[in-house]
Amino acid sequence: MLSSCLHALDALGPDGLPALMGALFLAGLAGGASHCAAMCGPFVLAQVASGGSLGGGTLARLSGALLLPYHLGRGLGYAALGGAAGGLSAVAASLPGLAWVPALLLGLAALAMLAQAVPAISLPWPRRGFGAVVTPRLGGLLRAPGAGRSFVLGLLLSALPCGLLYAALAGAAASGSALAGSLAMAAFVLGTMPALVALALLGRFFRRRAEPLLRRVAPWLYGFNAVVLLALAVRLVV
């Protein structure tokens, strides 16, 4: 049982995990422009400005905008959260009478994605928690650029309170194992990267031109994600 909770990849069916990863990737893609660019954009731009990453030729500009250590830190933090959520929910679902837990989590994730698609819906996301501890420690990391500090910054930012993150974690928790939860959150992080790289590379142009267009598309992607997650939930109980 323990091995299954750690490594199983088929708890949602043969195509369940790929569908979940695809949905979370699209959620990250939509959220990168409509949410992450506003919430994490200042941290990205501060690193670019501190490191002078937008100087030099095209290759140097692209390399600086990628901020790979920062995104690697974010990815590791989110994957760890997804692994913990997936492992714990798998243990709970294996207990007598709790087999409905993954379906409930998928339903909650679908509702959370719908909340992102319809701004009028307001869910009571926690506003503090780890974020209250992490935020005061970010200033020094931004003032002293470097690959190591950039990695630590990304790792710390994964603990900040974020409604979209909670929605993705609810989906990852239903994946059926720690490994599957980590993979699901890795897909989410990959989805958020294009908008943040574009923001670092294009700056004001992205803010003025691309971001408004992506914000109009984002609700439809969130709505599609809600449908996919709800369909996975229904398949588990039917």
Q: Kindly report, residue by residue over 153-169, the tens digit of the pLDDT.
A: 888 888 777 778 888 99
CB 177 within 8 A of CB 6: yes
**182-203 confidence digits (pLDDT tens):** 999 999 999 998 888 887 777 6
Type of residue numbered 235 = R
Q: Is residue 54 part of a domain?
A: yes
Residue 128 has phi, psi (to 5 degrees) of -120, -115
Averaged pLDDT for residues 209-238: 79
Asked, for residue 25, whether it belongs to a domain, the answer is no
Q: What total number of domains does the chain contain?
A: 1
Asked, for residue 1, whether it belongs to a domain, the answer is no
pLDDT higher at 197 or 117? 197
Q: What phi and psi, each to the nearest 5 degrees, are found at residue 108?
A: -65, -40
In a domain, 131, yes or no: yes
Q: Is residue 48 part of a domain?
A: yes
> What are the pLDDT digits (tens) for 13-53?
888 899 999 999 999 988 887 777 667 777 777 776 665 44
Residue 228 domain-assigned (yes or no): yes
pLDDT reported for residue 59: 52
Please check whether residue 35 lies inside any domain of the structure.
Answer: yes
Range of the domain at 157: 31-237
DSSP 186-211: HHHHHHHHHHHHHHHHHTHHIIIIIH
Nearest alpha carbon to residue 233 among 96, 92, 102, 97: 102
Residue 95 belongs to some domain of the structure: yes
Question: Which has the minimum average pLDDT: 76-85, 100-109, 114-123, 174-183?
Answer: 114-123
